[in-house]
Amino acid sequence: MLQQTRVETVIPYYERFLSAFPTVKDLAQADTDKLLNLWAGLGYYSRARNLQAAARQAMEDFGGQLPVKLEDLRSLKGIGAYTSAAIASIAHDAPHAAIDGNLERVFSRLIATRKNPKTDGRAEMESIGQALVNLGRAGDLNQSVMDLASAICLPKEPKCPLCPLRENCAAFAQGIQRELPLKKVKAAPIELQAEGLILIAEESLLLARRSSGQWLSGLWDIPWWIEGSSPPFAAPAGSAQFASCAHLRTITQHKIYFQVRGIRCEGKPTAQELENLPAAELRWVPLREMHGINLPRPSEKALAATLGKLELDLS
């Protein structure tokens, strides 16, 4: 949940999630729609699916418990080198270094390396991490370096005068701490245009389940598609556009510029009128019941921006 998301944002999600799925078994048996609904707003939806797949694997292969050994943890869907080392060290004090961006930053600065910690400098990162956790208390050690990185050895403005490691820090000694670690050059984002639709009829909103092969597949959302990937939506006769809004979504390395149209129809359009909308399924949700449904955050914002312009009597 914490990937690219701040702790304050995650806490209410985490609490709701644990109260809905208190055990591995509950998560394994959960309805995927309910799971995705509780995750909506956090983004990176494959994490939710992987979490459930891992819970199912844990039920089948490990008696409903998270395994202890690193290689068993790595066999679970969505658990890679960093997460398995973090679980093994923090939960069981096993001597594995959990090397994420935080540890990479601190280690790169300590030895003042200009090698990329993810590529040609990887072996050095692992050897420093391993030497540290071999001293004992691997879980505490990993967490203490993570804390140092997030509170003191900050990416842009490291607070070196406060740092307990400064006397051993080669980058500080050379005054090059702000230059490290070496950043990899990011590829330019791919820019796309997309269209979205807020379709209202009989005080209900049309939702579309994203098809497999689409971004956010399996998720309920307002209907949206990349321009040109689907025929333009022709509003049914008797309908009127009541609002529109633009917003930007970033998905992986894509910057997607949305134009969302709010359209109100006289009555619910026929299946034929909706057949070009790209979706695995469609459903109408009464606006009064929308509070129980969580959509991806950009769609929530588009709804708030457009529905405010519509005078509806929902009493």
State the residues that interact with ligand SF4 by CB under 6 A.
Answer: 106, 109-110, 152-153, 158, 160, 163, 165-166, 169, 171-172, 177
Tokens 């390396």 correspond to 113
Residue 77 and residue 20: Cα distance in Å, rounded? 21
Contacts of 65 (CB under 8 A, 6+ apart): 24, 58
Output 109 or 210, the one with its CB closest to ligand SF4. 109
To ligand SF4, the closest distance from the beta carbon of 167 in angstroms equals 8
Output 98 or 163, the one with its CB closest to ligand SF4. 163
Residue 283 and residue 220: Cα distance in Å, rounded? 9
Q: Buried b / exposed e across 57-71, counting CB within 10 Å, b at 16+?
A: bbbeebeeebbeebe
To ligand SF4, the closest distance from the beta carbon of 8 in angstroms equals 24
To ligand SF4, the closest distance from the beta carbon of 164 in angstroms equals 8
Structure tokens at 246: 């633009």
**What distances in angstroms separate CA 185 from CA 116, 137, 179, 182, 188, one per listed residue?**
11, 36, 14, 9, 9
Output 109 or 261, the one with its CB closest to ligand SF4. 109
To ligand SF4, the closest distance from the beta carbon of 6 in angstroms equals 21
**What distances in angstroms separate CA 234 from CA 230, 240, 259, one per listed residue?**
12, 11, 15
To ligand SF4, the closest distance from the beta carbon of 153 in angstroms equals 3
To ligand SF4, the closest distance from the beta carbon of 125 in angstroms equals 14
Output 160 or 243, the one with its CB closest to ligand SF4. 160
Cβ atoms 130, 142 nearer than 8 A: no
Output 103 or 205, the one with its CB closest to ligand SF4. 103
Output 9 or 127, the one with its CB closest to ligand SF4. 127
Q: Do the bridges between strand 204-209 and strand 190-201 make them parallel or antiparallel, or are there none, so unpaired?
A: antiparallel
